[in-house]
Structure 1
Amino acid sequence: MISNNEWDPLKKVVVGVADNAKIPEIDISVRTVNYSDKNDSELKDVVIGPYPNEVLDQANEDLEVFCNFLIKEGVEVLRPNKTDCGYYNYCPRDTVLHYQGISVPAPMALKVRKEEYRSFGHHLENVRLIEYDHKENLYDINCVGNKKVLAINESNPAFDAANVVRANDKLLYLVSNSGNKKGAEQIKEIFNVDVCLLEDVYSYMHIDSTVALLRDGLMLVNPSRIKSKESLPTEFRNWDMVICPEPFDIGHFPGYCNASAWTNMNLFSVNPNLVVLEEHQHDLRKELEKHNIDCAMLPMRQARTLGGCFHCVTLDLERDHY
């Protein structure tokens, strides 16, 4: 099963489930990686435990609509088991880097997510495990209230798979609270591929609300983070950029917010001329249509609540490659 980029015609994909999603107890990894923007007083307002049933029901309804659309497009859709893993099985993108026919469960920054990939591990064929055990000295409490300090240091490799987007012979890697430079080096060693670092643009977590690769040589960028081509690593500065318009904010469930409005640029490519986009993002749809990219406008009502839209909730295992 080969999927070496973000845009070739989709054949097989894992789509997440919202069942049993919860906010974990706050250990040092959760404190620094997820909540570095909150002071100790604000942290007391974080609700621990299962998400409200209304959130989970709506999320599962929208995931089902998404799956049915993909099936009609001729895609084989696989789902995780509905396990209680301590976090959620909603975003398989976060947990496994699939490239060159190899599936690598990531040494994720959040300790609670270490075994999360097992809910869909039975769908993976060629798994390469990384042995890791993150110690407390990986996490830098000085990141709290300071965006210039990342949650994780370079004491050992750590990354979420969603810190990466694939572009055939090279990968674009966001250095952030959920991925350090040693993590990028580890990826390079595993795949023997150029791993191009995107640095100093966004500290919070994953890359896919900052950059989306639409096809070879064309990317969608978040202008609040990518100010110019000079923000990109040299290897990507010859790509054309579509500037994402200000997103329509779909809001979030009261008391639960795990993503900014920019998660609504978190699209998913079915092929180079068709993407799935959150149903209210019509300004972005118009921009993409200028580049001959059609948009399937589908609901994802709890994207900000749960922290993931269409790219996050998928893991593409197979695309036609040429």
Structure 2
Amino acid sequence: DAKVPEDSDMRGQWGRRPQETIDRANELLDNFAGMLAKRGLRVDRPTCIDHSLPATTPDFHTDSQFGCMPPRDVLLTVGHEILEATMSYRCRWFEYLNYRPLMQQYWNEDPNFRHEAAPKPRLTDADYHPDYLSEKIGVAKRLKWAEEKFFVTTEEEPLFDAADVLRFGRDLVVQHGFTTNLKGIDWLRRHFPDHRVHAVNFPGDPYPIHIDATFTPLRPGLILNNPQRRLPQDQRDMFERNGWEIIDAAQPSHNSPPPLCYSSTWLSMNVLVLDPKTVCVEASEVYQAEQMDKLGMNVIPVDLRDAYAFGGGLHCCTADVYRDGECEDYFPKA
């Protein structure tokens, strides 16, 4: 509950969400999928398991699970491979099962497809610092911890969520934070020896969970950065040496997240880039859409805010599987 604002109706909640919110979110996701299909994109959907059920392993028990709205958190596509992340939340341990039917389908369709799964972590108590999320700890101390790179997860075993990874051709930029530890980043480095793996962190975020509402590439040479969570200068050097511009994202249009949502208002910058000139922006995020327009992007407004509570925004709820193009080197100057 520590990540949830004190006045949020999400505090203390668990189990199945109200049916009307489920129906509304499904309606919005169906509309989004339909829009993408009309633009010529193939859209595959997961096969949902019942996430309201408890999850138990020999090492832990949790009374309910998470969901399958954000495949970006679980699946990482690199070249011909789709990698299942370890996941770092106990309630998300079995989430990969939603995507196994699709993985089998891709295996049957494409002889070059590689389906890989990172080692499943045990997620015992040794994986977490005790009392880290205590409500007695204020934001100032949490910001200091973030600056010191002291997070809730320990280095007991490799942990990473796929949504902490950004792909820049031959380079993978990985956020070190709550959901990805240094062992997880090292595991990715060993697993992808033909790629350069870079660890980054954002000291302005007291709860650094996933990178895609903090650091958003729009096209080669241009990145949006959350102005409250700026990339430290020493980590910007790689981008600046190679001619990349990092600009502040526009302010969110909302002062608070929607009901029963634990994500921040910065889902405003959780956009889906379809190509270097086309971007999907949540329809109510007028300031972000205006900024994209000024940057020369064709903006597609998409109504998704009422689905935020199920796991995120437009980038979160998608995971690209097949794209045209070659593996470029965007950072030739080391």
| TM-score computed with the length of structure 1 as normaliser | 0.82
Specify the SS of the correspondent of 1:55.
helix
CA RMSD of aligned residues (A): 2.4
Partner of 1:215: 219
Kept in 2, the 8 Å contact 1:251–1:304? The answer is no
CA distance in 1, matches of 2:178, 2:263: 14
Structure 2 CA distance for partners of 1:288 and 1:231, relative to 1, 3 Å: farther
Aligned length: 286
Structure 2 CA distance for partners of 1:141 and 1:304, relative to 1, 3 Å: farther
Partner of 2:200: 198
Q: Which has the larger radius of gyration?
A: 2
Taking only the aligned residue pairs, the percentage that are identical comes to 26
CA deviation after TM superposition for structure 1 residue 239, in Å: 1.5
Kept in 2, the 8 Å contact 1:247–1:284? The answer is yes
More strand by share: 1
Partner of 1:239: 244
Q: Does 1:130 align with 2:118?
A: yes
Partner of 1:178: 179
Matches for 1:96-175 after TM superposition, within 5 Å: 96-124=75-103, 125=107, 126-132=114-120, 133-144=122-133, 145=137, 146-147=141-142, 148=145, 149-175=150-176
CA deviation after TM superposition for structure 1 residue 258, in Å: 1.2
CA deviation after TM superposition for structure 1 residue 199, in Å: 1.7
CA deviation after TM superposition for structure 1 residue 257, in Å: 2.3
| Structure 2 unmatched runs, 5+ | 52-64, 108-113, 327-334
Specify the SS of the correspondent of 1:232.
helix
Structure 2 CA distance for partners of 1:250 and 1:298, relative to 1, 3 Å: farther
| Structure 1 unmatched runs, 5+ | 1-34
Matches for 1:1-322 after TM superposition, within 5 Å: 35-37=1-3, 45-85=11-51, 86-124=65-103, 125=107, 126-132=114-120, 133-144=122-133, 145=137, 146-147=141-142, 148=145, 149-192=150-193, 193-201=195-203, 202=205, 203-226=207-230, 230=233, 232-237=235-240, 238-249=243-254, 251-254=256-259, 256-322=260-326
Specify the SS of the correspondent of 1:309.
coil
CA deviation after TM superposition for structure 1 residue 142, in Å: 4.1
CA distance in 1, matches of 2:299, 2:4: 36
CA distance in 1, matches of 2:162, 2:299: 25
CA distance in 1, matches of 2:165, 2:20: 31
Structure 2 CA distance for partners of 1:44 and 1:50, relative to 1, 3 Å: closer
Specify the SS of the correspondent of 1:76.
coil
4+ aligned runs moved over 6 Å, structure 1: none
| TM-score computed with the length of structure 2 as normaliser | 0.79
